[in-house]
A = this chain, B = another copy of it.
Amino acid sequence: MEKLESAGTYIHFETSLDPITALIEEGKYSKVFVFADINTSEHCLPVFREMLDDFSEFDLIETDPGEENKNIDFCIGIWKTLLDFGADRKALMINLGGGVITDMGGFVASTYKRGIDFINIPTTLLSQVDASVGGKTGIDIDNVKNMVGTFTLPKAVFIESAFLKTVPERELLSGFAEMIKHGLIADSAYFERLKAQRFNELPVEEIYRSVQIKNEVVTADPLEKNIRKILNFGHTIGHAVESYSLNNDKKSLTHGEAIAVGMICEAWLSWKNSTLTETELEEVKTYIASVYPAYHIKEKSFKALAKLMQSDKKNENGHILFSLLEKIGKCTYNCRVSETDINESLRFYNSIYAT
């Protein structure tokens, strides 16, 4: 259908996965591995098989689903499995699943025998609009997100909307948060269009636009030395809230739900520390709060959240650095913010739902 070039990697927007067969032939791969979790293996692998009926020779490597399994123990297991299955440097790994699968599969592939080729087939909205582009691979250590990883581009990315039918609504909503972010940091008209959309009936063009925005940013700065940092809008606080929730809440937040919290807080910080107007702050807050469920950030968790933010990869010289909105559609980065302001922004978030 459409093909977007990203620093040598082709992102395919496809109604079929046929080009994979050609890629495998061209690459003269010695073996093909499909890496999936038990959910994508059940729901997406049949779709994958059906689309590629002339291609069936692969070994399946299965893992448990969920961010809590994106850890070094599973990596070691996959490295050993590859070795046991006789994977050499000309092996190909196809990562079929959400961000956990593409992040961890990408890390395993980029380090196995110092690197084998891999293809990503993101099957969730979140991984299609976020993890699909930019070559970030990673795993968590001690619940610190992506503490270990590489920048390695996949050989190709296939974005196939048929997989989205297998994704639960809460997961679609999780991915939608990244699309909202793309509008907020880079394209106000896109943000306006998204406001008129229902997250569970997204036209494929709007998914495409989101990938395009991300691709423009990462192409300009592949190693996240400068402009790419704007993609972290909502993520400094969002990641901390996500980690905290994962460890403390019975029903923990999804990535997108946490980023929704983070975007509201960081919109407040953008108003306080950058040039976002009060009207714009109100607009961002009202819209996001209308789409995402309420969450309560306990005062007693503030210290723990600050500690989590300290380990954010964007930080330098001990300062927590934020990417903040200058206005809707424009974002700046490397903004130092005081802990007082951070706490105030968390209270601002809580105030939305205070009775």
Find residues 285-334 in chain A having any chain B CB closer than 8 Å to their own CB.
310-311, 313-318
Q: How large is the interface on A (under 10, 10 to 19, 20 to 34, 35 or more residues)?
A: 35 or more
Any chain B CB within 8 A of the CB of A151? yes
Fill in one digit per residue for A22-41: 1 if any B CB lies within 8 Å of its CB, else 0. 00000000100000000000
- Pick the residue among B89, B151, B315 that contacts A313 (CB under 8 A): B89
Inter-chain CA distance A141–B318, complex, in Å, is 34
Find residues 235-284 in chain A having any chain B CB closer than 8 Å to their own CB.
none
Collect the chain B residues with CB atoms within 8 Å of residue A144's CB.
Answer: 83
Find residues 135-169 in chain A having any chain B CB closer than 8 Å to their own CB.
136-138, 141-142, 144, 146-151
Instruction: Check if B318 sits within 8 Å of A86, measured CB to CB.
Output: yes
Collect the chain B residues with CB atoms within 8 Å of residue A136's CB.
Answer: 114
From known contacts A80-B141, A142-B80, infer whether A150 and B315 are also in contact, taking CB-CB under 8 Å.
no
Instruction: Check if B30 sits within 8 Å of A112, measured CB to CB.
Output: no
**Closest residue on chain B to residue A135 by CB atoms:** B114
A235 CB → nearest B CB, Å: 14
In the complex, the count of this chain's copies comes to 2
Inter-chain CA distance A175–B317, complex, in Å, is 39
Find residues 108-129 in chain A having any chain B CB closer than 8 Å to their own CB.
110-115
From known contacts A72-B72, A150-B150, A318-B30, infer whether A313 and B111 are also in contact, taking CB-CB under 8 Å.
no
A77 CB → nearest B CB, Å: 11
- Pick the residue among B83, B86, B111, B311 that contacts A149 (CB under 8 A): B111
From known contacts A313-B88, A317-B88, infer whether A149 and B114 are also in contact, taking CB-CB under 8 Å.
yes
Knowing that A90-B317, A110-B150 touch, tell me 18 more A-B residue pairs with CB under 8 angstroms: A30-B317, A30-B318, A72-B72, A76-B141, A83-B141, A83-B147, A83-B311, A86-B318, A88-B316, A88-B318, A89-B313, A107-B111, A111-B149, A111-B150, A112-B148, A113-B147, A114-B149, A114-B313
